[in-house]
Amino acid sequence: MKILDRYLIRRCASPFVYCLAVFALLFVIGDLFENLDTFLGIPRWGAVAIKYYILLVPSVLTFIAAFAVLLALLYSLGRLQRHNEISAMQAAGISLGRVAAPLLGASLILSLAVFGVNEIIVPQATREIETLKTRQLKGEYRLRKQIKDVAFLHPPTNRSYYFETFDLQENKLLGVNIYETDDSGRLKKKITAREGRWTGQDWHLADVRVQEFINSDLPVTTRSTEMNIDLDLAPQDLKTGHQEMSALNFRELVRILEKRKKFPTATLRPLQVELHQRFALPLSCVIMGLIGVAFGLKLGRGGMLAGVGISLALGFLYYVFYSIATALGKHGVVTPWLAVWSINLIFGGAGAYLLAKRN
């Protein structure tokens, strides 16, 4: 590594570490205030809270790393511009592309590090958090009160279930989808409901629509305001059968998708989206690196304030569009891979274009 590369990376490394630490601290403080009543209701709550947030920090860092990259690059390059160091490099015959190369290389290495943390540390930390909740945060003090995107297969009845949300405290389902197939795997009945509640023996569904595929692809539809149905499924089955997707590494996600390949497409979309996110989210460090370098090299004097404003706006837009796109992918509006990768392609393409134009 040449002296110039070390100098540029060192100038960006300190702001990056500071940004990462500040963002993580703000998240922990906000989450602590939200759950403080929960923690105060358990014995030795201080030790439990410290352990909980130590385990939670790795997943937080992987999510905010890209935003920290963007802010650090804009701030650092803005300072270099303000002190005419970029102009001096150009006067010495060093192109802007050469200036950008070590910074983009560092962003790529960081992306690989984020992927490694997501694969090795975050799944284990998530399992430890679940164990902590089970042992220390029992009953009314459980931190996680809902689980989302619950899929369940019941082979004896040829039924598969997908619930948008399952409330652990009230044993309540939201967004109920029940698929029943014949022995050949052809869909013969679909039941949807706004919500379902456990009665102790069966489930009470509200706002129910039943579609029966009898002799053609056109279903016979009936509607009812409520219905009691035995799903051969108790709340405890959902609690023990569900595992947070963040507690699964890439290989485990692939195995689950393989086991559930006969599930209806709608029940597989959240897993497919999560699978693509394992690569797309770490790569956001490179995307933000491209944008940060492109805009950072354009900042003139007073670039610090401009860099902060631009980074906040771009980071906010990126995560808003990313969240919208993944939600569309989970609900089948667009295919999962396109939902996850489209925002990276758009922002990455824009960053590459601006950098090429600047160079």
Q: Are residues 95 and 186 in the same domain?
A: no
DSSP state of 118: I
31 within a domain of the structure (yes/no)? yes
Give the 3-state DSSP-derived string for 227-273, with helices as H, strands as E and coil as C: EEECCCCCHHHHHHHCCCHHHCCHHHHHHHHHHCCCCCHHHHHHHHH
> For the domain that residue 197 is a member of, what is the CATH number?
2.60.450
Q: Which of 243, 264, 282 is the last residue of a domain?
A: 243
Q: Nearest to residue 325, comparing CAs of 340, 310, 315, 313?
A: 340
Q: Are residues 162 and 89 in the same domain?
A: no
Low-confidence residues in the chain, pLDDT < 70: 1, 134-145, 155, 216-217, 237, 239-246, 259-264, 299-308, 311, 359
259 within a domain of the structure (yes/no)? no
- Token pair 């996600």 is found at 253
Q: What is the pLDDT of residue 142?
A: 46
Q: Are 243 and 166 in contact (CB under 8 A)?
A: no
225 — phi, psi (to 5°)?
-75, -30
Q: What is the pLDDT of residue 146?
A: 74
> Left, alpha or beta for 332 (phi > 0: left; psi -120 to 50: alpha)?
left
Q: Are residues 17 and 134 in the same domain?
A: yes
41 within a domain of the structure (yes/no)? yes
354 within a domain of the structure (yes/no)? yes
Q: Are residues 100 and 159 in the same domain?
A: no
Q: Which of 243, 261, 294 is the last residue of a domain?
A: 243
Q: Beta-carbon neighbour count of residue 42 at 10 Å?
A: 14
Q: Are residues 182 and 295 in the same domain?
A: no
35 — phi, psi (to 5°)?
-110, 15
Q: Are residues 214 and 278 in the same domain?
A: no
255 within a domain of the structure (yes/no)? no
Query: Is pTM, for the whole model, over 0.75?
Result: no
**Which amino acid appears at position 205 of this protein?**
L
Model pLDDT for residues 113-152, shown as the tens digit of each residue = 999 998 889 888 888 887 777 666 554 344 556 777 787 7
Q: Are 122 and 65 in contact (CB under 8 A)?
A: no
Q: Are residues 166 and 196 in the same domain?
A: yes
Q: Are residues 32 and 126 in the same domain?
A: yes
Q: Are 20 and 68 in contact (CB under 8 A)?
A: yes
Q: What is the pLDDT of residue 341?
A: 93
Q: Which of 193, 225, 243 is the last residue of a domain?
A: 243
Model pLDDT for residues 244-263, shown as the tens digit of each residue = 566 777 888 887 777 666 66
Q: Distance from first CA to last CA of the chain, Å, rounded?
A: 22
Q: Are residues 110 and 190 in the same domain?
A: no
Q: What is the pLDDT of residue 285?
A: 92
**Which amino acid appears at position 319 of this protein?**
Y
249 within a domain of the structure (yes/no)? no
Q: Are residues 185 and 201 in the same domain?
A: yes
Q: What is the pLDDT of residue 105?
A: 93
Q: Are residues 154 and 128 in the same domain?
A: no
Give residue 342's domain range. 3-138+272-358
Q: Nearest to residue 266, comparing CAs of 205, 340, 177?
A: 177
329 within a domain of the structure (yes/no)? yes
User: On the CB side of 344, how many CA atoms lie within 13 Å of its CA?
Assistant: 18
276 within a domain of the structure (yes/no)? yes
Task: Give the count of domains, the chain.
Answer: 2
Q: Beta-carbon neighbour count of residue 32 at 10 Å?
A: 13
Q: Are residues 119 and 158 in the same domain?
A: no
